[in-house]
Amino acid sequence: MGHTPEYRRDYYQKNLERSRAARQAYAEANREKRRQYSKEYDKEHRAEKAAREAFRRAKRLKATPPWLTQEHKDQIKALYVERDKLCALSGIMYHVDHIVPLISDVVSGLHVPWNLQLLPWNENLAKSNKV
């Protein structure tokens, strides 16, 4: 029988340096294994990785509103999954496009589900940063 969560938390707090050192040693010993797993996971979950990267870029641009719910985030991920399906079915590369660009001289949009659309790659590149 295992220890209770309270016991584990208290043990961790009492042995903070030791616990951190053990965690760091484990991370260093398994760094390459974790990298390889991460690489394989990203290859198998291309749409999720693309959505994650889009969130990262939007966050850096401060285009992700703090009120975005998990449901909204799931809708965005679903759009990336749909993009991959469309690409596979049609043989045409599709992009997830911001209807109102995140950066523009006129107006800046947000990284939210209702500001995203699927476009063939050539239409998206022709659109550039225009509405």
Q: Round to whole Å and give the CA distance between 109 and 46.
A: 25
Q: What is the pLDDT of residue 103?
A: 85
Do residues 104 and 131 make contact, with C-beta atoms less than 8 angstroms apart? yes
Q: What is the pLDDT of residue 1?
A: 55
Domain boundaries defined on the chain: 1-44, 46-131
pLDDT along the chain (131 residues), means of 10: 84 88 90 89 88 90 92 95 94 93 86 95 85 69
DSSP state of 114: G
**pTM above threshold 0.75:** no
From CA 55, how far away is CA 45, in angstroms rounded? Answer: 16
- 106, HSE (Cβ side, Cα atoms, 13 Å): 5
Q: Which pLDDT score, from 0 to 100, does residue 112 have?
A: 95
CA dihedral over 82, 76, 129, 99, signed as positive or negative: positive
Listed in sequence order, the residues at least 6 apart from 123 whose beta carbon sits closer than 8 Å to its beta carbon are none
The mean of the pLDDT values for the chain is 90
